[in-house]
């Protein structure tokens, strides 16, 4: 893989700097990753950049001379999680005076120097937009006694990166956008990831071609709101999918996450016309089934708008599998508004969903709303929502029994020798009898048993 040396930012002086000189052999780096797939991809990028600066990835913090916590702040006590992890490294710091500890990711961006003030074991802090500068930041941390804080957005610069996944396997992730401009009133992401930026379509195309050459068969396009993608020549998300489907030899394309407001008829047509490549799975987070709550969340669609989009999707892609995210106990949510969420779940019949208790986040509007919902009420709503979904999804998935599904085989079944697993186009993990030589191939499996998360069948 061709790897661009360090960052693209014009003010970067990284190319002229050397890696830390001490103990090259023992320059182990350990990265602890929280949060979304973006953060996992960012950690891969950090490892690759640090390898070019003479660090060696290690499997445990005990082996490391450099520990980085790639943090997430989307929900529940994120800052506390960082402090408690750093606290666990106190003994290692005592034993190894060369050990440096850094915090990156969304908590780094959100808290900046507050982190080093509160927890002096932290040597440096950087934000998600500063990853290309990491070798330089680390260099500075080694050469100075002070704390290094580098959490700056490049909101006005084009988004140029190259994929740096180290061991992509059969299926991997490719960033297409960064940041978000939607400002849902509950969400910290626009403050931790900055403004929406889209990568040039040609860059994405060439990344995917290179991944294909490395044996990748499936890519998942990544962004906080992928269907707001806008390439440099006006390429929209649906057009990007067509380009990737037509111009690359990738077998399958998935994407996450899409926003209902940007889910267009054109995109549905692409699902229908490129069904061979664009998978029958759509994650379309609704958050609430009540229009008044949606309005206060600034989701800019109503319950009715969302249901119309679902109808449109089913019209073009009848075999689609849908999933969603929900927040229960958004400030001011009444019992009857919550019941609208339950009724939406009954109507849409999601095959899987993720539900969260609302948690107030810094900088967000909803954190300042007066009528926060009590913890026990949120817990009760979450339990009821999950119970309803469990019953419904078991029923729903029975439709696969007897069907023949196409499975992209990705590994051996860790539980059952002689069995393999892969994913169907609908994103269901499918188990069947087979051998390792099938890895990377799409095989047909007749389904005998179906559970909400997994299918079991025989190869036909
Ligand atoms: N960009 C994606 C969401 C990213 S965050 C989208 O718009 O769909 C992933 C999920 O975390 C959200 O869909 C939401 O359900 C949940 N979430 C975000 N902020 C939250 C908060 N403050 N409290 C509880 N859940 C939250
Ligand atoms: Fe957050 Fe809304 Fe943007 Fe998703 S679309 S990242 S929930 S602000
Ligand atoms: Fe978390 Fe930041 Fe991702 S808040 S979910 S790591 S964008």
Residue range 222-281, pLDDT digits in tens: 999 999 999 988 999 999 999 999 999 999 999 999 999 999 999 999 999 999 999 999
Q: State pTM to two decimals.
A: 0.92
Q: What is the per-residue pLDDT for 157?
A: 87
- Of the pLDDT bands very low, low, confident and very high (cuts 50, 70, 90), residue 24 is very low
Q: What is the per-residue pLDDT for 162?
A: 85
Q: What is the per-residue pLDDT for 156?
A: 87
**Residues 218 and 350 both lie in one domain:** yes
Q: Whose CA is nearest to atom 6 of ligand 3?
A: 72
Domain contains 162? no
The residue to mutate among 37, 39, 109, having the most atoms of ligand 3 within 8 angstroms of its beta carbon, is 39
Residue 7 has pLDDT above 60, yes or no: no
Average pLDDT over residues 419-446: 97
CATH number for position 84: 3.40.50.12160
**Residues 214 and 274 both lie in one domain:** yes
**Residues 232 and 304 both lie in one domain:** yes
Domain contains 378? yes
Provide the number of structural domains found in the chain: 3
Question: What mean pLDDT is reported for the chain?
Answer: 92
**Residues 294 and 344 both lie in one domain:** yes
**Residues 325 and 439 both lie in one domain:** no
Burial 308-345 (b: 16+ CB within 10 A, else e): ebbeebeebbeebbbbbebbbbbbebeeebbebbbebb
Domain contains 249? yes
287 CA from centroid of ligand 1 (Å) = 8
> Can you tell me whether residue 118 is helix, strand or coil?
helix
**Residues 128 and 194 both lie in one domain:** no
Residue 15 has pLDDT above 50, yes or no: no
User: Model confidence over 90-103: pLDDT tens digits?
Assistant: 999 999 999 999 99
Q: What is the per-residue pLDDT for 13?
A: 27
Residues flanking ligand 3, CB < 6 Å: 35-36, 38-39, 72-74, 105-106, 188-189, 192-193
Q: What is the per-residue pLDDT for 26?
A: 67
**Residues 393 and 265 both lie in one domain:** yes
Q: Which residues contact 451 (CB under 8 A, 6 or more apart)?
A: 394, 397
User: Model confidence over 390-404: pLDDT tens digits?
Assistant: 999 888 889 999 999
**Residues 374 and 263 both lie in one domain:** yes
Residue 2 has pLDDT above 70, yes or no: no
Average pLDDT over residues 148-163: 90
Domain contains 357? yes
Residue 22 has pLDDT above 70, yes or no: no
Domain contains 156? no
**Residues 442 and 390 both lie in one domain:** no
* Domain closes at, from 150, 181, 205: 150
CATH number for position 432: 2.40.50.140
Domain contains 11? no
Domain contains 189? yes
Ligand 2 atom nearest to 298, measured from its CA: 2
Between strands 197-198 and 177-178, the pairing is: antiparallel
Residue ranges making up the domain that contains 435: 401-459
**Residues 195 and 54 both lie in one domain:** no
Scanning 89-148, the segments in alpha helix (DSSP H) are: 90-95, 105-111, 114-118, 134-143
401 CA from centroid of ligand 2 (Å) = 36
Q: Whose CA is nearest to atom 7 of ligand 3?
A: 189
Between strands 429-433 and 419-424, the pairing is: antiparallel
**Residues 340 and 425 both lie in one domain:** no
- Of the pLDDT bands very low, low, confident and very high (cuts 50, 70, 90), residue 76 is confident
**Residues 200 and 105 both lie in one domain:** no
CATH number for position 372: 3.80.30.20
Q: What is the per-residue pLDDT for 158?
A: 86
User: Model confidence over 290-342: pLDDT tens digits?
Assistant: 999 999 999 999 999 999 999 999 999 999 999 999 999 999 999 999 999 99
């Amino acid at each position: 893989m061709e790897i661009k040396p360090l960052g693209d930012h014009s003010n970067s002086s990284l190319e002229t700097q050397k890696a830390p000189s001490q103990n090259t052999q023992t320059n182990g780096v350990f990265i602890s990753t929280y949060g979304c797939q973006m953060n996992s991809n960012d950690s891969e990028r950090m490892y690759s950049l640090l390898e070019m600066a003479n660090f060696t990835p290690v499997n445990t913090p005990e082996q490391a001379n450099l520990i980085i916590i790639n943090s997430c702040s989307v929900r529940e006590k994120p800052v506390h999680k960082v402090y408690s992890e750093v606290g666990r490294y106190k003994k290692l710091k005592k034993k190894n005076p060369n050990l440096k500890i850094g915090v990156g990711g969304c908590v780094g961006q959100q808290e900046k120097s507050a982190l080093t003030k509160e927890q002096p074991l932290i040597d440096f802090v950087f934000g998600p937009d500063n990853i290309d500068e990491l070798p330089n930041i680390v260099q500075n941390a080694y050469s100075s006694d002070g704390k290094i804080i580098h959490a700056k957005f490049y909101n006005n610069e084009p988004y140029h990166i190259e994929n740096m996944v180290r061991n992509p396997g059969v299926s991997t992730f490719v960033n297409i956008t960064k940041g978000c401009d939607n400002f849902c009133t509950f969400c910290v992401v626009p403050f931790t990831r900055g403004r929406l930026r889209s990568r040039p379509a040609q860059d994405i195309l060439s990344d995917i071609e290179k991944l294909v050459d490395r044996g990748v068969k499936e890519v998942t396009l990544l962004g906080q709101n992928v269907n707001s993608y806008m390439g440099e020549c006006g390429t929209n998300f649906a057009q990007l999918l067509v380009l990737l489907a037509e111009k690359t030899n990738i077998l399958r394309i998935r994407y996450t996450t899409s926003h209902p407001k940007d889910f267009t008829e054109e995109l549905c047509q692409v699902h229908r016309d490129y069904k061979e490549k664009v998978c029958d799975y759509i994650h379309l987070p609704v958050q609430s089934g009540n229009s008044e709550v949606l309005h206060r969340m600034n989701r800019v669609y109503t319950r009715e708008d969302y249901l119309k989009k679902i109808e449109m999707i089913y019209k073009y892609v009848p075999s689609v599998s849908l999933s969603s995210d929900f927040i229960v106990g958004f400030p001011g949510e009444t019992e009857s508004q919550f019941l609208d969420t339950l009724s939406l779940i009954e109507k849409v019949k999601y095959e899987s969903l993720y539900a969260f208790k609302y948690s107030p986040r810094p900088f967000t509007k909803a954190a300042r709303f007066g009528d926060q919902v009590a913890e026990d009420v949120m817990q009760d709503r979450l339990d009821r929502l999950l119970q309803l979904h469990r019953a419904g999804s078991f029923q729903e998935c029975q439709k696969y029994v007897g069907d023949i599904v196409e499975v992209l085989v990705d590994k051996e079944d860790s539980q059952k020798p002689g069995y393999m697993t892969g994913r169907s186009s609908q994103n269901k993990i499918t188990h069947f009898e087979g051998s390792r030589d099938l890895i990377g191939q799409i095989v047909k499996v007749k389904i005998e048993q179906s559970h909400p998360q997994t299918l079991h069948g025989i190869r036909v």
